[in-house]
Chains A and B, each alone.
Chain A
């Protein structure tokens, strides 16, 4: 769209047919519903040159017309009135829904895709007013802005809209500052990536005890009201605040992600950890209450404890099991965290990061052949960004360390029932001070 509209160079955008609905919607939402787009069969990825030539010689699977004929037509020919003027429209969101019976409102919310497909607490005016007592911020204040992907339009939401979604999730007013902080992160819990990446929300500081969050046994499961409803509210405010999360339209996660039901919301077990709290490493005081968001979460590998003899090899195996485009997020039971100190001799968080980075290795040729590395690292490498630019120049069989220390994060969660721990592929996206939203 930029090349065509801003630079005024006639352009045709080619997509695979699975993205027909979403690409048309994006064009419309940008005021160019007649943006010239042509479609080939999904997938392109993994196909041979001969197979792709057959796509090009063949038909657009959406229109059933010759693909290249549509490409040539898209670059030539006169524009009509709608091409020249585009499409303008206001889209305002009403504050209230039309009054109706409870049962019909539950059905409305479900049909409008305003829920996570579970029943919600209907956000009556009284319930929202009660929720707003959980913060001193004004209802009309804009909290943040989100969109499903970088190519969609940005929607914004107010304190009141966040409170509405908090009510729907079943949260209590005392949870609202944490939910507002998550909303202020501008990191959507409903990102529309075909990878189906989810998010994880981890809370640090005194607010954990103040509102009764769980950082011990069952912390990442459905066993605590604050953990469950804060995480759920984050998901609902994301999907509704950003304009939707509808499969095929504003959500393209190919498989979906079960983590998205409550976004793995939990509190860090600071008291049982051998290290300083996670948020202190991000520049906050230990006495600050902070919520941190990790994004792009898909993979999880796990094991039990560290073994004296082969702990190094076991961790290396876990790291090799990740897609190397992911950043390692170590989620350690406190027992495991202390084993990192006592058995591995890694006495600080930085020592763990350095060890992980030094031991996450694979041959360069194998690394560069991962599709996600091709998509997200190779472009940066070819234009000189380090360390990837240097990795392009090494022999294929030379080992490279595919994780940087600064990409490794560690949180301590669990109740010491056993030393289970996991490495999740997720990047630290944002840490936001909850105190600002009290």
Chain B
């Protein structure tokens, strides 16, 4: 009752919401997954940011040690990371079965 009385006494004002307008979000489908990685070609895509190449080459070494049946391809993107790179994506689509992209940071 006391809270209600306080709110009733304070002047109620209406203000604008300052936020902009977002785009509508539309759901998208992920690609079907592989049954296994054996014999598959996995692209290790270097986003060329903050020593990502060194990290992904260690991922490549891990596959060599633990999953030698997996063919890994180390691939650097064609430009700075915030540019789209359709040529690289098309190559991955044409010649790869999966991709590991790194490192976002």
Residues of chain A at the chain B interface (Cβ within 8 Å)? 1-16, 18-19, 23, 28-32, 34-36, 40, 42-47, 49, 52-53, 55-57, 68, 71-72, 75-79, 83-97, 99-103, 105, 109, 114, 122-125, 128, 146, 149-151, 153-158, 160-161, 164-165, 167-168, 194, 236-237, 240-244, 371, 374-376, 378-380, 382-383
Nearest CB of chain A from residue B48's CB, rounded to whole Å: 5
- List the A side residues contacting B42 at CB < 8 Å: 75
| A44 x B24 contact (CB < 8 A) | no
Q: Is B31 an interface residue (CB 8 A)?
A: yes
Besides A53-B58, A241-B20, 6 other A-B contacts (C-beta < 8 A): A11-B98, A12-B100, A16-B104, A28-B25, A93-B22, A167-B16
Q: Is B71 an interface residue (CB 8 A)?
A: no
B: number of interface residues (CB 8 Å): 67
Which of B7, B21, B97, B104 is in CB contact (< 8 Å) with A92?
B21
| A125 x B105 contact (CB < 8 A) | no
| A153 x B23 contact (CB < 8 A) | yes
| B77 x A13 contact (CB < 8 A) | no
- Measured in the bound complex, the distance between the Cα atoms of B1 and A292 in whole Å is 55
- Measured in the bound complex, the distance between the Cα atoms of B67 and A390 in whole Å is 40
- List the B side residues contacting A151 at CB < 8 Å: 82
Mark B69-101 against chain A: 1 for CB-CB distance below 8 A, else 0. Answer: 000000011111110100001101100111111
User: Closest A-chain residue to B7, C-beta based?
Assistant: A101
Q: Give the secondary structure class of A's interface.
A: mixed
| A379 x B27 contact (CB < 8 A) | no
- Measured in the bound complex, the distance between the Cα atoms of B25 and A6 in whole Å is 16
Mark B42-62 against chain A: 1 for CB-CB distance below 8 A, else 0. Answer: 100100111110110111011
- List the B side residues contacting A93 at CB < 8 Å: 17, 19-22
Nearest CB of chain B from residue A187's CB, rounded to whole Å: 15
| B13 x A14 contact (CB < 8 A) | no
Nearest CB of chain B from residue A48's CB, rounded to whole Å: 8
- Measured in the bound complex, the distance between the Cα atoms of B51 and A163 in whole Å is 44
User: Closest A-chain residue to B14, C-beta based?
Assistant: A99
